[in-house]
Structure 1
Amino acid sequence: MGDLVKEALSIGWPLFALLACLFVYSLVSVKDGAAKKRALFKVFIGTISALLLMLAIAHYKGSFYEANRMLPVSLVLITATCFMMGIYFPNHAALFKIGGFMFFVAAGLSGYGNWLPQVEGGFPPPVVVLDFQSMSSQQLADEGEKIIFGGIGKNKEQGAVGKGQCPLCHAFHAGMLGERAPNLVGLPARAGKERLEDPKYSKGKAAGRDFAQKEAFPGAGTAENGQEYIAESHACPSCFVVAGYGVKGTNDKESPMPAIHKPPISLSLEELAAVDTWLYLREGVDAPSFDEIVKSYEKFIPEADRPKKQEDKPAGGSDLMADGTETVDVIFQKAQCVACHTIPGIPGAKGTIGPALEEGTNALLRMKDKDYKGSAKTVPDYIMESIVTPSAYVVKPFPDNTMPKIFGQKLSAGAIKKIVDYLSQVKTGSPPPKIS
């Protein structure tokens, strides 16, 4: 505020100097007491009006190219100036009041316009073509971190999620528990020892496995080393399920994790190599070469199933999980809602990490809960709030901060609307709505 006043004074100092002269003139030259009071009052009103006008100009000057949406403040100040000047010039009061009313309406309209979501124009980002094969190990690891977390250095940020969506299920730091999937700290060392030596893994004897899937594809066999185990766990998560992390009711024979080379994640072999390189280097361990990692994935992913290279897109986490053109069941799949929630009518949505999403019934009850701290007043508003700010209300007995807080950025408005529309119709004991 102090800077704004200084700017106003620097702009309007000639006007303020003139008003100061008028004040001195009225004080010294006007002899009649009543006339002097009227003159001094008019100078006072003029000074206040001038200050408001200069503040409006200074504010407008400083805010015109900013994104703070505060330009209507300038119009409000000008409105106040007009009404003040109506007092200063009583013979023209009607004209000033009309002007003030017009500025007041303009301030209201511009304020409403600035309140609406803003869309900035501009050129599309430059196309970045990545040549993974020619990268150094560190460059590969950097791209891997972008794919996992959405950017370099973001692995320490709560809720950071990239294209690979790994943090939605896995923890990456010592002491953190992954409720959906194992903590990946120490994975390179653990993969070649604990996992391959586990009798349930049945190394070299895929037919002896007691899991939902015995091989990634007929003839693929099992992993022979740690890197191959990592590749197999990405390509065929249900070929071996770590105890305690299976789909509920399957006795740990089926994994909730999707094959990440398939939709909705669809990482290419090059991107998978970058992810694995980061897993090694962040442990201070030398990673296998790019070609060795790619070869390990080729063992478990047949050529027909390998995603094509997306050479027109950079790696990283800026892509939306869903853009709203998909049907709602696909949106739930892409956002991995099905891994944590039971959603009536959505295939595969049998998760138990979060509450069942029968929001047509539950939302009204939760908004009435004394522990509810959100601002929603309707069922759709509650669902929207629970997606964008999940900590506004945490359903008991589920812990807070289990659900990522990134869906407001990772799902388009159209995708969120489809989720809201669908869940609003899901009621306990009633048939689920049609998928659209």
Structure 2
Amino acid sequence: MLVKLFIALLSFSYVQSDGQNREMITNFNPGCQAQKCPECSPGVVYVVSKGDNDVLHYVISAIGGPPTALVIKTNKPKGRSQLNIDCKKMASKNDTERKDSITKPEGVKVLYSFGVVFSRLFQYNDTADKADITSYNINSTNWRVYDFTEFEWQDITQWSSNNLIVMKVKDSGLVKDAAFYNESLVLQFHLFDHSDRSTELPHLQYNADSTQFDFTLQNIDTGNYSTARWGLEAVLLGADKKSLQMSIETQKSIDDEYTPGVFQTSNWYTKPGDKGSGGYLQWKPVCYLKSSRARSVATKVDTTGLHSTIDVNVEGFLQSSIMYTYYPDITNISRFATNFTFGLTKDGGFTTTNYTSWTAQLGYGAPPEDKVSSLVVGVISAGLGIPVILILFGGLFVIIKKKTAKGEYTEVGQDNSSIQ
């Protein structure tokens, strides 16, 4: 009976059932008649994700250099819900045309918008094995700075599908001896129409209001940096007043069921005071040094804290990105930057495997939260319950056995006295 109870408890698993399902429509190079459009190089992907009462619009592109993901939440009108996007104007060198490349049809009301821009990569030679990018001066010989505005990207439509958007670098031009080439940097955006959990480590939980991305560095010539490590600069923007502060909050958990050895989840909010109606960037502080992800090849992801974009001098990167086509007055909205750094002391650094891959997600509303699953609750209950049950039954058995033995002894004694 106890064995059956234990098996029944183990059979339970936590199923994420909240959230809505969405209908997704993917458009490649909107505004062009052909999917492949040289004038829109390296291409634009526009995804319309229709919910019960609203629509999420994703615009993803590396036009201008910086890889960018823009998210626009609108109402769900009775008529046409798709935005008017012209990728030719988006790729134009003329600012007037660029500002007119995203417009909304009549009846569509924008409820909120936000997005992320990846502006630069930092490579540093961690000779002291501190795994701390702030330990080295950016102007020293231990640093190399890679500017995404000078990168060339492969055609985004060549590798992308309806729910997977893939950006692959072609080369880094003359920047730092063209260390990046032939897919040595890859960004993949996974779009979802339902709620579930990723099948790959770190098994991030997602819903229909989020998109996950994998950032991968591989086969890069690090030159004379024998102990190279990397930092990725990212800027998060929200359609709020520039005076509104953003925040990064870390949640701790006692459970590492989905990501062994990791007990934290970090959320970067565009609207900390009203999380349900803002955007977020979510990640677990872990990345992987091999494509076959496992705990044995995991290392740490850290951030350098939030900084004003003026302090880190990324205004030019924002204006060159597609974000400027939707926010022509980009200097007057809320935006903050941070550096995601990869590595941990004594992990060997990037040069050990020449590979680093990190997963995070961009989403609207309150981010998904890890909860102790029914499986874990069942295991804990069984682990604590079975010994208690055994003690109770064992104690009861001993008491009954003693009483039975005492009764039998008394009866025998009475029989012997009567014979005498």
Give the alignment's TM-score, normalised by structure 1.
0.25
Structure number with higher strand proportion: 2
Give the alignment's TM-score, normalised by structure 2.
0.25
Larger radius of gyration: 1
Structure number with higher helix proportion: 1
